[in-house]
Amino acid sequence: MSRRFPSRGRKLARELNASAAQASELSRHLLVAQEEERKRISRELHDEAGQGLMVLRLYLATLAGESQSPESRPRIEEALVMLDRTIGDLRRIIARLSPRTLEELGLLPAIRKEARELGKNTGMKAQLRLPQAFDQLDHEIEVAIYRSVQEALHNIAKHSQAKNFSVQVEINDGMLYLLVEDDGIGFSGKGNARGRSFGLLGMRQRIVALGGMVRMHSRKGRGTRLTVTLPVPHAAANRKLRPEWRLARFTDSAPAPRHG
């Protein structure tokens, strides 16, 4: 009887491996479907809500120019300011829903733009350490890295209270490394990280489905470091690109945040 246990163990191991592979493949299909749904929603927001708001703004601007009433004109101008703010918010939502910037510019320029926008909107000082270029990656990998950068920068803007942040990308020995750091307040314990947990969970799910790994390290008062490691296709890895570190400062620069 005891001789049967090893064969049963091997069979169970094969079944578990097959189940894990199926779960990973299902996860990838779900993520692709999620991206398609985001694109559809972003198109509808742009074509319907966005166009409607722009027409409304045109009407209000016309009324402001034609109004002779000293009471109504300031109110119309105030409504225009609020409408412009709403249009800006809608554009940011559309940008987060659909990786149009990624599709139009490519991965590295898209990362630069995301960092530039964060520096512009918050006054934080940014440093980028990116390769000048590398071979085009699989689309799923590019989307996964871009989404990871988006989520990391969103968390920095929302939670960190940082003065500086940095984004670093490197391909070496068949692996792509993404490192995002800030010198903000950090956090310790699960309770303080609760606001970030769902975004981080989605990021981890996306990266793990592609065979990668996500790690986050933070200490209260010492900032936060996010590391993403992802295998890349053999063709891209063969070049063994050593990045020519490029410093991008979108405001008066300060040294890149470092953590102990």
pLDDT score, position 6: 59
DSSP annotation of 173 reads T
d(CA 26, CA 213): 18
Output the average pLDDT for the chain: 77
pTM attached to this predicted model: 0.65
Average pLDDT over residues 173-190: 86
Give the largest CA-CA distance in the chain. Answer: 98
Q: Residue 161: which region, alpha, beta or left (left: phi > 0; alpha: psi -120 to 50)? A: left
The structural domains of the chain, with segments of one domain joined by +, span 4-96, 107-238
* pLDDT above 90 as % of the chain: 26
Secondary structure element (H or E) that encloses residue 164, with its range: strand 164-172
Average pLDDT over residues 31-41: 70
- How far lies 135's CA from each of 47, 107, 146, 163, in Å? 34, 11, 16, 33
- How far lies 195's CA from each of 177, 199, 210, 220, in Å? 25, 8, 25, 15
pLDDT score, position 29: 61
Contact by Cβ (8 Å): 257, 164: yes
- Among 75, 161, 146, CA closest to 108: 146
pLDDT score, position 252: 34
pLDDT score, position 182: 95
pLDDT single digits (tens) 44-91: 887 788 888 888 888 888 888 777 677 788 888 888 889 988 988 888
Residue 22 has pLDDT above 70, yes or no: no
Residue 225 has pLDDT above 80, yes or no: yes
pLDDT score, position 62: 86
3.40.47.10, 3.30.2350.10, 3.30.565.10, 3.40.50.720: CATH of 107-238: 3.30.565.10
Q: Which residue has the higher pLDDT, 106 or 98?
A: 106
